[in-house]
Structure 1
């Protein structure tokens, strides 16, 4: 490969790569000519984007519809307090171009959907998944398989993280397993809490996202062994990593023996999200009226203790994970109003109690405590 594609300033920027045995200008040129799409610019996307930009990936695409919020800053090191309220993709682009002015950053301030995923992904060599929800993970996976792109996957939960490379085609032309070989179907909606509900150690996404960036670089340059056909589990509390083998499954609906998926589907429906609910709902106005009229009721708060301490309506604190052990203390002779922060966890709790304990007097507070306090702030405790 020719080294004259690098300017003198680029030589200085990448000097440590040029000096690296087995890497050198040849690998750096591959990076310069590569195109990588990062889906999500949050906890995982932040270190991913920082290190891919610094390393010299020639074109980086960022797709994210979110804006910078104060709760992001303990782990999303791409941003700072001066960018609160800004579109993440625009804030990220400015930061990355400041780190490395010799790359191009393309932004997509939108959701990745079944309608746009194949068109967007087709323009890149590698996709790195920095998302935190199951519908988008399955969407990214399926789009990468259909488009023939490697998918560098990462996820975090509290103190643990996972990294894997899916749909990677090796030098012999063999394609490795994909996300559906590891997780054929998603967990029931709401069973696995997100970071807002369960928390995450701030440094953990930095570790996992950096590992994803490493895998992207190995795929592009051919240096090192790509983590295809296995998943790495990392425990931040012990610094122990475990590797588990993943094999392709004949029943995979994308590329198994009898494929049944040849186009992108409705992934929210597939993951059981936004499906019609028969849980009885109570508006915040109706709840307020019930209080004013002196009607007797039981109020249950299924959030976590730290959320309850921040603000509460005086209900009985029963975190969702402990709802079974509390079932005997839930009354059946009057209305029971169940709430969480926004209404999702409380609806899940009600479904579980109705299905497993036969309750018929449970009501979900629509919009949760957030909706209530937005209208009746004087009730804040």
Structure 2
């Protein structure tokens, strides 16, 4: 079944984002037309991939260029394309060169050290929430402070300067919440912020990511623009994505409270539960950042021509009936869960182990400390941030 109309490919996105719901058209396409044409908000038409196997093939194929998608005529969901010089907008060999530099800051020893600090931070924040008495706000008390502190620790951003960084972050990841002029201004602001940090830290290096970037910059392994824009990419992924995911996981567990009770009663389920929530939660409100075909490529029996733009919706692929049994059911005992929550191929998320650790520490402490935790009102009353790439509650009022 082809989901089109007489005016051409359907307009994308398909409708208003509602909490953690995945628009039904994604699943229809995954089942019947896993590679289909859509009309994007900016730049014209693109291919949308919704099938699991087709997404994996696309992500593993170097003939789809991220760098080519930085052109302003690229079909996309954001008012502006990504700027060149960011890991997400790079192709080989530059991508491999810079990824190798950045990976140094995500070594297992570093992540393990951060996990110890995470637990102390979460304990302190939950102490404050408990002492203040109900109601509390899990966004302000947990989802914001944990990733902010971790990115401060990992990256080496002075904690007292976090407000300046956060001033730009929401604007940076906007789809419709801000104008392209505002987004461009936020990008310039973040680049200036990073350049100042690099200049300040040159004589005081340590084991953090900023020091790694400075050493690589001074050794001629990357340019200043690459150092700054790669740094911004890590900052945004480590902050906004983690903040949104902690908020979304908390909302999911409390809006379907039997899941929260299940975790509280059986902490051994924590690891598979986290993987299941990474699978089921559609973190992005819209499809992926685009890539463009550098030559003709066939995916799922569909010929994608050189120069054409492709996006994918990971959450649709992670509900593909060909791969996941009862894909719409949340099962914390799911034995096989090869989800694409952290991507696939050369752009697989460098911070996956850190993100998993953040979620695990947050949920272990939350379920152990507040077994009676619940939303203060109906799930439908929880406010959500509008017009951003990642969906997330604006606040998550709870009582216990």
Question: Shorter-chain TM-score: what band?
Answer: under 0.3
TM-score (norm 1): 0.27
Q: Who wins on radius of gyration, i.e. which is larger?
A: 1
TM-score (norm 2): 0.26
Greater helix percent: which structure?
2
Greater strand percent: which structure?
1
